[in-house]
Structure 1
Amino acid sequence: MILITGATGTIGREVVRLLPAHLAVRILARDPAAVTGVPATAETVQGDYADPRSLMRALSGVRAAFLVTNRIADDDARFLRAARSAGVRHVVKLSAAGVTDGEAEDLITRWQRGNEELWRGSGLEWTLLRPRLFMSNTLSWAGSVRTHGAVRALYGASANACVDPRDVAEVAVRALTGDGAGYAGRALTLTGPEPITAVRQTDQLAELLGRPLRFEELGPGRARTVLAERYPRDVVDALLERAERQREGCKSEVDGTLPALLGRPARSFRVWARRHLSAFRASVEPYSAAGQSPCEPAVTVAEKTGSPA
């Protein structure tokens, strides 16, 4: 039995989709009704990291688990205690590439590092997945692209070696299944094939859509205001610190791990964008610049939206 957490999120959803049909799969969700598009053979159970009994029920009979946590809390420790008691052998943990930046000391990075250390000392087999920013984070631009023909983001000229979530999910599946021999005890940095800026992403979207798009720089002050609508102050501070590290060039390095594992190149942003182009298509054209509203910068903490690395 394989347990999947985060099945309503960016990576977990893809992991469920890619798992071989013959495998026994159980999905842990706070709200099982929110889990859609999963195979009929998959079992979905209600549970929460803060509820030890629900974790024990979900982990009963599980040999490998895919773990996603996105609250800055003790969810990893709670899951570990239950996993040990249930006899789980292998945990594939979604982390972030930012943990490798020795000068990054923001709240989120410190929390992620602490979680990694927890699993390293857990006594279980573990695999750490460290993706860069998910290409799917650009879906946060879709509303302003459709309505106003504009992308608004923070530090548009700074590059990130962002990664297609499908590629990360494919690595996770290999680590979880019989193809995962040799994955235990490894921390895998997963990037896209090239560093790319928000300005260049805007250009590529415009080319694919066949319509002009403009890029509008979202300054730090406005970005803070937008993020404060969703996150507490300490998390907002951390997200802006991480964006500053990207501006300084700390997230642009391309890692060769992913293509070596998958035996093919990592997918490019253009390939990802072509697959999701319908999300950016204008519902009414021509568009008007009136009534614009700011778009969230591509820095997030919740895995549902994307990786904050």
Structure 2
Amino acid sequence: MQYLGHEKGDPQFDEHRRTFITEEDFQNISAAGLNTVRIPIGYWIVGFDHSWGNGTDTWKVYAPDALDYLDKAIREWAPAQNILVLISFHAAKGSQNGNDNSSPETLGETNWFAHQENINNTLDAVEFLANRYKNETAFLGIGLLNEPQSNASDVPILQQYYKDAYVRIRNNVGSDCLLTVMPMLWQQGPYDGNWATFMLPPDYYNMRHEWHDYHVWGFGADKWTPDKIITWINSVETKYYDEWKGNGIFVGEWCIASQFDMDDKTLKRFADAQIKMFKKAVGGWTYWTWKYYEYPLAVDTKSEWSMKAMIQRGMLVW
């Protein structure tokens, strides 16, 4: 949008939003036997920034009216198909991980942790969303922050944000919606930090601990084969879910993409191993993603990143 400007960019975003995910997709998701959709959003969706400090107009750079489509998903499409919606806070002001999925002003820079006004903006936004949808039957809850990534000294800042968000949503809004918390990306496992004892009942309720479990990065051909990955899932990784002692695990992202060109038989074994493991996640799972764009801009019907394509191909059965 910084490059295109609103005159050229807004119509393109509107066209994408109108056509990429539609009511028909929710019908297909329901027909596939799925009951939950996780929708990523950015801080600009709420259309305001009441935090103090500099940069309170940065949300205006983005294409407007995204909230209209979230409204439509939660208030019309999802309830018509008996689907629940989990809102995932993917892009916090200042960026919580520096990656493209959090829309940093400069790729690689993480400024969310360092500035309280950015955290305040996120708190205001999740409170706004919880209040907006608290009476909607299809509103499941909010993933409070997607894939935070910083050093160990920032873990207390992250955990305090989660506690503050909980108070805002439970006390200010009066909502008992589901809330998921994510550790730092490097802390996803049963032994990392104090997350297994974080925000537990009875002091906190309706909480889930979110992991993202991919077998793409770190599973290259220099050390791995498809059979080795499948064996590792079945014999080693599955124990992580058995040994976890904290709030119920929700696998917010996974897929059957890899660094290998697997034949259908091997790919099905790879998918089955993951699905079997994820049945141990009491909070369930959501796949990343329902549809996948390839270049030139067209929906790819073969990519392992596309759940729709993999269901049609017979690779995903649960």
TM-score normalised by the shorter chain: which range applies?
A: 0.3 to 0.5
Instruction: Point out which structure has higher relative CO (alpha carbons under 8 A, 6+ apart).
Output: 1
Normalised TM-score (structure 2): 0.35
